[in-house]
Amino acid sequence: MHKLTYLITGTLLLSAFFGCTMPNQISLPDKITATPNTVDVSYNSKISRLPTKTATIFLEGEKIPITLRLYDQYSDFFTTYFPEKDFLAEGSSSGEGTGVRFIANFGGTKNENAYVHVAFLNNLTTLGQLRSFINGKRGLIASNKWRVVSKTQNVSHPWAKEKIVFSQGKDITGTLYLGQQNGKAFYIITHYPVEYGDGFSPRADLILRNLLF
């Protein structure tokens, strides 16, 4: 797997931070149910959350119980739960921003091409700035050579303001969410090989459904 590099305002950052190629300039699923006692009733990341909880995913019509672990390393920005046996969490924070990648580790095999990436950039504070950063001629989509399949502002996640489905060649698919909560603008990427779809999507959705800001 080749190493991806990211350039933001002339500063080179580690690939673990962003998980995709950054532009040279910044211009300003399957059914899932959680066990009844694990429903989140607030979108405030400061609330107390248990270190683990359980959920159920449906794969090919079969119920599969799954253990979720709390991720709260950057609780000033967000917390969530993730399937601890299926993903590795790698976070980084610097003067440019804070980002976390949940990288697929199915069966103990890490695949850096399959991940959920949550990113807060310090100089993007409004949705307008975020949209320019994402959609500009040298923005996130163009820099990664993603092809936009669809866009919608009708998104089920309460924190998401826009959803962009993209593809990269014939083998990669994904979704880019533009979000805003508590005065912070951020983006979230799901990125994975097409062949991972049946197993990746329901597990990744658990991370998205459990996000608190």
Q: How confident is the model at residue 18 (pLDDT cuts 50, 70, 90)?
A: low
Show me where the domains of the chain are located: 6-28+87-209
Q: What is the mean pLDDT of the chain?
A: 84
Higher pLDDT: 29 or 56? It is 56
Check residue 144 and give its pLDDT: 97
- CATH class of residue range 6-28+87-209: alpha beta
Q: What is the pTM of this model?
A: 0.81
Percent of all residues in the chain with a pLDDT value above 90, rounded to a whole number: 72
Q: Indicate if the pLDDT at residue 207 is higher than 50.
A: yes
Q: Indicate if the pLDDT at residue 74 is higher than 60.
A: yes
Mean pLDDT of 92-103: 97
Check residue 198 and give its pLDDT: 85
* Residue pLDDT, tens place only, 156-179: 999 999 999 999 999 999 999 999
Q: What is the 3-state secondary structure (H, E, C) of the chain?
A: CCCCCEEECCEEECHHHHCCCCCCCCCCCCCEEECHHHCCCCCCCCCCCCCEEEEEEEECCEEEEEEEEEECCCCCCCEEEEECCCEEEEEEECCCEEEEEEEECHHHCCEEEEEEEEEEECCCCCHHHHHHHHHCCCCHHHHCCCEEEEEECCCCCCCEEEEEEEEECCCEEEEEEEEEECCEEEEEEEEEEHHHHHHHHHHHHHHHHCCEC
Of the listed ranges 25-29, 83-87, 127-131, 173-177, the least confidently predicted one is: 25-29
